[in-house]
Copies of this chain bind each other. A is one copy, B any other.
Amino acid sequence: MAEVTIQQVAKAAGVSTSTVSNLLNGRAHRMLPETRVRVENTIEQLGYRPNRAARQLRTGRTQTIGLVVPSVGNPFWGSFARQLESAALEEGYHVLLCNSERDPDRERRYIEELWSDGIRGVVLCSSLPSLEHVAPVMQRGLHLVAFDRAAQADDPEALVSISIDNAVGSQLATAHLADLGHRRLAFVSGALGSVNRKDRYRGFANALEQAGLSVDKTILWPGASDWRFGDVESAELGRRAAHELLSSDTPPTGIVAINDMCALGICRGVRDAGLEVGTDVSVVGFDDIVLADLYDPPLTTVRQPMTEMAAAAITELKTRVEAGGPTPGRSLLLRPELVVRSSTSAPRS
């Protein structure tokens, strides 16, 4: 039950604690090769593991970063959490998981608690437009990476933002439909409340323009639901949007959805109307959640490069935390990728 301490190792190896400590902290060159081997063996034999609390108390550093997500129950965030944890492991970090449940107060409390836990780097996936509630903690020295949220003018100066280029993403999606020959395109989204949503709509509009289609020929279906507010709501919105769109005189042949759940709802609405997805109507999603590939038909969608994004988040955090001092913020926009599956094809006739 009693753990092995550095003193016991030192004693058993016939050296001082500093020698053991030196070995532990990558200063092996300071000692004779034979000493080194002896200490290494002793550590091995005794099964010694440094006490993190003591180490942290002494150095002020933790090997833990915080992750605040709306909910890992959501596959999108679950998938990101997984990638982030793997990236963190590579760099010798652990991840403390915090679900904000979209409660701004819970989010703020978590951030403060993480700080007082000694954690100096946090990845925040916030649903909130403003980050002023975390500004005080950042002022104290917390390094924060905002994920999936484009940088804002009034963001704290030191903030790092990592996100995909949403405009490029939906431009890819829309251009794909235009290239296939579609001429009547619709964009389905709830209210364009967040910057992400606005950007995605902008990409859609850009692509139409480039394809020589005027924007006013397209249909924007405004709903009340908020971005990723709930999977069920997104899907339901898509379904109803499809019903409405397909009952018009000149129904679209291609639909760009704000996200995959919405696209899935659209697919269902298309089927409700007695039409087939992928042949009668082409549908493109966004995010490439696990489900997209498992759906029937597999969904053409825009993939967020999760692995790269997670790695970038860890790199930023590690660099900043280890440097210590205040560092200027920046914004990283990664390029999304179009994944073509079976929900899109050339229009009929």
Known: A53-B57, A73-B75, A94-B98; 10 extra A-B contacts, CB below 8 A, are A53-B54, A72-B72, A73-B79, A73-B82, A75-B290, A77-B78, A82-B99, A94-B96, A261-B294, A271-B296
Could you list some 16 contacts between A and B, CB below 8 A?
A: A1-B140, A50-B116, A53-B53, A53-B54, A53-B57, A53-B62, A53-B118, A54-B57, A73-B82, A78-B78, A81-B97, A82-B99, A85-B97, A94-B113, A231-B294, A264-B294
Interface size on A, residues (CB 8 A): 53
| A116 cross-chain contacts in B, Cβ below 8 A | 49-52
- Mask of A232-266 contacts with B, CB within 8 angstroms, 1/0: 10010000000000000000000000000100100
CA A51 to CA B60, docked complex, whole Å: 10
Among B49, B99, B231, B271, contact of A290 (Cβ-Cβ < 8 Å): B231
1/0 per residue A35-77: CB within 8 Å of B?
A: 0000000000000011111101100001010010001111101
| Cα distance A267–B294 in the bound complex, in angstroms | 11
Instruction: Flag A252-288 by CB within 8 Å of B: 1 or 0 each.
Output: 0000000001001001100100000000000000000
A9 CB–B CB distance under 8 Å: no
* A329 at interface, CB cutoff 8 A: no
Bound-state CA distance A77–B226 (Å) is 25
A12 at interface by CB-CB < 8 Å: no
Chain A residues 135-171 with CB under 8 Å of chain B are: 140-141
Closest 10 CB pairs of A and B: A78-B78, A49-B116, A73-B82, A53-B56, A53-B57, A97-B97, A73-B79, A72-B78, A268-B296, A72-B81
Does chain B have a CB within 8 A of A95? yes
Name the distance in Å between A41's Cβ and chain B's nearest Cβ: 19
**Chain A contact residues: helix, strand, loop or mixed:** helix
